[in-house]
Structure 1
């Protein structure tokens, strides 16, 4: 047997060595027997046997054309008789490039080749390395599995990105196979388009012979013939009737099919199927069909993905709209917050549509106003009503949102950045204007006063934190004497006294409170003297949730009479309490103040703690594993 194996390998095509499977067929043995026999003779596997020759040919091509692309290099190698994929060429190029940089490749040491590493198509999918990581690994495995990949079924609700995943799988397949779209086609068929006419549906898929049905005046190729050599994507595959699913068995099992109207002629087709459905596959697809699709990938709905990924998806769609209209798009904080938290039942597809509608409304206002700033403004008034109501959704966590977004955003046609539009001293001055503007916009949206106050109130706390964050960041640039040109002397004196009293109660309070209060109260005093209303929709909640801070704020407000000769209203006391609350907690970490200890008998607690920390994304659960005697001693 050893001599026979040596004879077969010596006679093989050196450019395309025989695999152990191919040798086993020639020797009428099992593959495992051939592998063991080959190893006992010290013979490398087929890839390693070809590698020196393939490497030599690549180096020769690079020596004359160092800037050749991987796709063209793969084509040149195929012309030389190598049956090789672009993926294999890419990996070998990386090794050769490393040798060149070290000076260990004498045949082309005088040439510095420039090779471009392949850009993984899956990186275009937001969440590819996070919430979708396992799904991406499944998709890659389906494409790479030898010899020709696996048929795949993508399952998920409407709008989760099933079509996008199918297209990315196709791009990945093109890349690793080193083929063009003409050599490896991607044909899309939506089974729902012909769901009410099964005969026409089958005719579209398989083609038909002249006379097969009324109106079949000529022979016609079907989509399976067009997809020969590539991928057929069957969207909404659950709409394929049972007989249509059964006819696919021949394609899946043997690569053969018949056109509609044919009885004796059988056609060959090498087609990989990717199917997608929104329905329960157990109820809507034949069991015999499901068993023939080995890879099932289930995509999560949008509300099951992290807020960080949803934010990136929103930004992507705004960037696309900015590029589409070739204008800057300004999106305010509350609008971004609403888009992050509303119940988007249609998932990513609906989110994209809603953002397009929102931008269209903003663009209409821009055109009507003939805006000289060349910026389209997207605010609450532009949002559909179902989005604005999303801010009232009790399921979302305000703290989580504020961690990832705290400011307005401007999207450029070819870039994105967050622009600080206000100066250090403008922040507090604008807080009342923000309330008034938002109130007007929400009224125009048709919301009730209660809903408006709730939405604005939720946003106020974020606004206060934004002011504090901005002043803290720029505090080193501020001088107390600079305030005298902006803030009234009596207000400065009042705030100095208030800060001293507040620090006696809240020990870690710093000068940020002084700057916040000075600019804020300066505006408030002007409004009071001018008879303008002061509004704080968050007041009732401040009294309920922050009683200690409200009590201290009330005490501080009593100092105003001696300096200003007026009494601060409740609304203003509420704002002072909000600043106190935010500044008192600004340096704390929830994980330092809140903890959970799990105590169990045996090796159980640590596993529970690990799972809890992983699921919650924290490190605040601790485990204590004790003997039963120790536990009974505690009681």
Structure 2
């Protein structure tokens, strides 16, 4: 093993250990324990650790013993920048960490920054870091959902990351509907005051070097929006009453809107707005985030009133599930009113008790609350809710399971003893010391207890009611904390699998019963529980049942191939909702003696098994049964299939005798055939464009450049005319499994997942693209790909990469031409087709300049007869552009342009997808 790989092992171990560190258990952070765990020499481990300290990647505690922690993980965990890398003792480090624990910075302050706002914030960061002053950002969402708060965090983020100076201006401007638009035009762009003979600067100029935040951008008229679009595109603007002087400004612009931008912005604004973030409403936030907002606002009132607040559990549940019309702002207002009502009748008590009847009258009327009995309502101190969350305790329990497993790998008995101590310890905490503000608790608890009761009765085992209580809480908590629990399980996936495999090997009966319980829960609740839930269940089953008698007949599938037997066994066990079949996969060159040894080992580990049915794939394996027939009753059946396994498994569950199972299964087995000749096809993404193969090749290159690494997925550029002519019968689909096609609007291929170039440029249907890449990229790589795609497929970037002409100048000419055409036709094109028209015309101009114009069009004479007016309108609208490039527009090109306009008309009527 190389120097770099062993050193990397140390780095990865410290990252993982620091992420889940417990201040009271630091043995895993010493040189000697790290060297033992990684099987490295102590001197080499010490050398690596000190090199990492020198590189400022690891924090060293020079106590006895010496401890080492990963710096980045500590900074993330405690929200602080650590500038010291060598501490005298743990107290000194803890003092540093505690000083920064509450000092959250910029986006860390946003509730949901790792949940519902995670993607929005990653988009914002991409826009803010974009070269040459960043990209404009538009936030849209319902009133009171937190848009203004996020804009304040954007400003703070820019300062913290040196994108703006600390003295940078931060100017806010709100646009009211139906106000004087001339006033807003002057306010934005400034004007020359002829009476005073002076220039009055506008907000855009005043915000240079800083941020201009424009609220309710959709209330601006088209003229103002066009001037803003010009500034975004060029970085320059003219005053409201003087077009002769161009003015520079380096202001970053953030827009906010309560309406969908597709309904309120002009086409130019949409084209210049690559980053549009939809901020979720209050009720669409997850439960943890809604609870965090409630706690935050009650804590603010507690600090203002300087008295501890206790809140009724019923009120917390009600507030969490109430759909506030004005979202977070309205919640905050109601909590102020609630606390004011409670404080008014407090009478000098040392604590403030907040009950349901303190709700404002509007809420009481709305929820129809009349008589409320405060005596049966559990009161919770607002400070204590976050500190003792059951989710943290469950994760701590899981971490301790894994820790005792790793500490006792040489003694499974010791691991089991320590693990069961953990179960007993957390029973009391999770059942009696935790508050669960979830109205589903009782309903799910009843289902889980019913399932456990039925299995206890049918299998004659003991499972205490506490097991059902804790399992219910684990189900609820893991469902509400999906992101954090998934991340923890992902980080620990290897040791979890190893631990479960060891338990399965040593506790097969417990494994079988846990499988049955989890299958029943999945059937009744549609919730798939994790391997950690299985580990918990197996611990419980073993704790209360030291001598389990499971079913005495089992099937073992023997098949040649690396996973054939496993696939059949997994499918059959899943469909039967119980563990009936074990699998032994055999590479073709496996000696029969090796298979026999595996069978003997299985029998030795499962002494309760009396009957084994061997399901084999070849007659040559039939004799293997004779090698084990002395220890158990063995039956052998060949020509194994999933349907045969299901037939036999059903009869095992129905307690048929061994010989009857084999006889009846053979009689019922039938073979059917049909001729199929379909070769496995290579998966591919296809790029095609009506502008030609050269453009398709450039699109393919841009797409590949956006990928964070090479992937085993073929990228194909294909002829548009062939696809248009042949459709789904084209040879392309016979040769390749086309998982995604990037194509023009007017190309329709049935049963092929596709997106248009326009949709990619507007980041629409990106989930389709991401879904195709999921087998090849992990979540972080998908996020990196999305950010690169956002950059590489902006209008400016696409034009600069796909045309040989000066892109900014060409786009200006095209914009003017389309505006003129809309004016002449007295028709406003839909925004979703505007981008397509832009791209088509840009390619059209290049074809004219390079003398490669399309000269073929079906029924060209008929088009000329029917659409003479359209031909004249296009020539008039495009006159300036055509004169500049010294080209003439062929009728065939005008006909292709007409198809975009016709598509716009056909799709009209409020179906704008742009």
Q: TM-score, normalised by structure 2?
A: 0.33
**Greater relative contact order structure (CA < 8 Å, 6+ sep):** 1
